Amino acid sequence: MRRFEVGIRDANDEELTRISEGMGLSLSLEEMQRLKRYFAAKEREPTDVELQSIAQAWSEHCCYKSSKNVLQKFIFGIEAPQNMLVIKEDAGVLEFDKDHAYVFAFESHNHPSAIEPYGGAATGIGGIVRDVICMGAQPIALIDPLFFGPLDYGYDKLPAEVKHPRFLFNGVVAGISDYGNRIGIPTCAGMVYFDEGYVGNCVVNVGCVGIMKKADLSRSMAKQGEVLVLVGGKTGRDGIHGVTFASVELTGEEEFRSAVQLGDPITKEPLMHAILEANGKRLISGMKDFGGGGLSCAVNEMCHAGGCGAEIHLERVKLKEEGLSAWEIWVSESQERFLIAVEPDNVDELLAVFDKWDVDAVAIG
């Protein structure tokens, strides 16, 4: 599988900006200059895969570069007696009773919903459910606080390229209800608030609660010698640059529509059951869902947590269509996918579980 070098060592500031925009990196000039200095010191040019991977990791969605200091000051240090795992994993794990824990995850899906409200809201539900599942919990309830501009907002006052609040409202509500109904998880709470301040960018919050036995807790890490197995949906071009798109200011341009992932609740439902069965059989050593950044983030975060590296065979990844470049496979955010770390002796039994549920599973590294 071919990779391409990108010449940045001799690029001037204008060329660096053009490279970032042309490749969809959404990196600032200062960040591109930092990359230029790094690879100049290495005496080589970066590959397209490397630049795309760095852009995912440095995106607002993945590293919270604008809000990190505030979160560290006011949120990350909070301690409570019921806390088991908070902040460090995909979802918070808190004690319920002596044998059980409940898992809670909450996030926003604003940019995707403002561009494609049905798909943006639906994949917001899909992503938050995956966060709960990958801790080893059974999702049981959804919560959705939503914020829009007034539904009777005058079209004559609507800014150019901004979709009308009623269009956004109808699409978001339909996306949430359709996805949740098809995976059998009810929306039990939420709120809707209307204000002119949300005309330019609606706020679509999604939350999920799950329950689990404490013994079923799974960590998002991989250790040396384990096999990495990709399970769930196939990989395509949908959702590419989703996290870098979330780091830029919305303009309403339709070119960003491909950055919105395509949810597939019909695949998610058996995938959820297969994962919970495999975890109950102690076949899973660690797992992480494919959210922002796709493989580039899932592999890096799991291996970093486990103190190891990984060798990934992208040619083994099952694709929705032929012709994807290496970097596209590496950063695709196609939905309904998990990365599972498994001991070599358990690989065959794990694959058999997913085959029984008619869910794709393949060892990729």
Closest CA to 330 of 359, 299, 289: 299
| Res. 132 pLDDT band, cuts 50 70 90 | very high
User: DSSP assignment of 56-104, as one string?
Assistant: HHTSHHHH-TTTHHHHHHHTTT---TTEEE-SSSSSEEEE-SSSEEEEE
Q: Which two tokens stand for residue 137?
A: 């919990």
In the chain, what's the furthest Cα-to-Cα distance?
A: 65
Burial class of residue 11 (count of CB atoms within 10 Å of its CB; 0-12, 13-18, 19+): middle
Tell me the range of 53-57, 257-261, 262-266 where mean pLDDT is highest.
53-57
H-type helices in 139-258, by residue range?
A: 165-183, 242-245
Per annotation, catalytic residue among 61, 100, 111, 241: 61
| pLDDT at residue 201 in the model | 87
CA 129-304-241 angle, to 5 degrees, is 55
What gap in Å lies between CA 182 and CA 178, rounded to an integer? Answer: 6
Q: Which two tokens stand for residue 338?
A: 């998990």
Task: State which fold the 81-216 domain adopts.
Answer: 60s Ribosomal Protein L30; Chain: A; (3.30.1330)
| Residue spans in the chain of domains classed CATH 3.90.650.10 | 227-363
| Res. 38 pLDDT band, cuts 50 70 90 | very high
Confidence check: pLDDT of 310 > 70: yes
Higher pLDDT, 133 or 26: 133
| Res. 256 pLDDT band, cuts 50 70 90 | low
| Res. 249 pLDDT band, cuts 50 70 90 | low
In this predicted model, what pLDDT tens digit does every residue of 164-221 receive, in sequence order?
Answer: 999 999 999 999 999 999 999 999 999 999 999 999 889 999 999 999 999 999 999 9
To which residue do tokens 């409570």 refer? Answer: 80
Q: Which two tokens stand for residue 289?
A: 């869902």
Q: Catalytic annotation on 109?
A: yes
What gap in Å lies between CA 159 and CA 168, rounded to an integer? Answer: 14
Q: Catalytic annotation on 61?
A: yes
| Residue spans in the chain of domains classed CATH 3.30.1330.10 | 81-216
| pLDDT at residue 200 in the model | 84
What gap in Å lies between CA 299 and CA 279, rounded to an integer? Answer: 19
Q: Are 90 and 220 in contact (CB under 8 A)?
A: yes
| Res. 243 pLDDT band, cuts 50 70 90 | low
Q: Which helix (H) or strand (E) holds 328?
A: helix 326-331
* Region 4-29 average pLDDT: 94
Confidence check: pLDDT of 257 > 70: no
What gap in Å lies between CA 125 and CA 175, rounded to an integer? Answer: 9
In this predicted model, what pLDDT tens digit does every residue of 143-155 receive, in sequence order?
Answer: 999 999 999 999 9
Per annotation, catalytic residue among 100, 109, 273, 304: 109
Residues of the chain with pLDDT > 70: what percent?
A: 95
| pLDDT at residue 77 in the model | 79
Average pLDDT, the chain: 91
Closest CA to 322 of 58, 1, 50, 76: 1
The residues, any chain, with a CB within 8 Å of residue 93's CB and separated by 6 or more, are: 84, 85, 86, 101, 102, 103, 135, 137, 217
Beta strands in 217-302 (DSSP E): 227-232, 286-289
The residues, any chain, with a CB within 8 Å of residue 261's CB and separated by 6 or more, are: 112, 119, 123, 126, 238, 239, 242, 333, 334, 335
* Region 221-250 average pLDDT: 81
What gap in Å lies between CA 224 and CA 102, rounded to an integer? Answer: 30
In this predicted model, what pLDDT tens digit does every residue of 24-37 receive, in sequence order?
Answer: 898 999 999 999 99
Confidence check: pLDDT of 163 > 90: yes
What gap in Å lies between CA 312 and CA 24, rounded to an integer? Answer: 24
The CATH class of 227-363 is alpha beta
Higher pLDDT, 77 or 283: 283
| Res. 111 pLDDT band, cuts 50 70 90 | confident
Beta strands in the chain (DSSP E): 83-85, 92-95, 100-108, 138-148, 187-194, 203-213, 227-232, 286-289, 337-342, 361-363
Confidence check: pLDDT of 260 > 70: no
